[in-house]
Homo-oligomer: A and B are copies of this chain.
């Protein structure tokens, strides 16, 4: 099992921290959308666990780990309660939240890619599922909240590209049988670092060429 990159004593707390921070972003959007405590918790759960649940369903690992690991399930509820009582404070430390979110992004693209490979998927598919693990929850969050999907907006800093780089590094490491705790951490930190740089310098991806010649709707 290559997905046991980190010892369980390390992996579980890391996962829970990543899940908790993803849940904060869901809870904060729920507050902005004026939802009640229940909506906050639902959106926190969906954001935090959605990517991993979809990955597990696609690779046939049912029931998804989110439903069998109590900590994974309860962390988003805790995040929801925190946001319910303390959302102005959480908003205020938003840059810290974004830093932790970038850590979650790095962690989950690495573990998602490794888990998909464990279940027999090829390198390209494993990379795709690693990205899905990292970014899928945010997509579900936005769809449920009836918002434009943040991942697909051109005016947001790149989010999927750092995940793509991290996932690809893992896939290459697996092929060359060099995936260890150290190299996996390097891949996660690379994705994390790219995301932080994207936030810092406002990196965006290009939109379609020759746009003036075509019908477009400004959002």
Contact = CB atoms under 8 A, between A and B. Distances in A.
- Copies of this protein in the complex: 3
A215 B67 contact: no
B63 A119 contact: yes
Nearest to A62: B60
Contact of A210 (B70, B88, B124, B143): B88
A67 B121 contact: yes
B122 A215 contact: no
A149 B141 CA distance: 12
Contact of A121 (B42, B63, B91): B63
Nearest to A27: B208
A78 B123 CA distance: 18
Interface string A77-92: 0000001110110010
Contacts of A151: 38-39, 42
Interface stretch (A2-10, A28-36, A165-173, A189-197): A28-36
Interface string A180-217: 00000000000000000000000011111111011111
Interface string A17-60: 00000000000001111111111101100000000010001111
Contacts of A148: 146
A81 B31 CA distance: 38
Interface of A: 30-40, 42-43, 53, 57-60, 62-64, 67-68, 70, 73-74, 83-85, 87-88, 91, 119-122, 124-125, 128-129, 139, 143-149, 151-154, 158, 160-161, 204-211, 213-219
21 contacts: A31-B214, A31-B216, A32-B215, A32-B216, A32-B217, A33-B217, A35-B207, A37-B205, A37-B208, A38-B158, A38-B160, A39-B151, A57-B57, A58-B63, A70-B122, A88-B210, A88-B213, A91-B214, A144-B152, A146-B147, A146-B149
The 5 closest A-B pairs by CB, nearest first: A60-B62, A36-B205, A39-B152, A67-B125, A36-B154
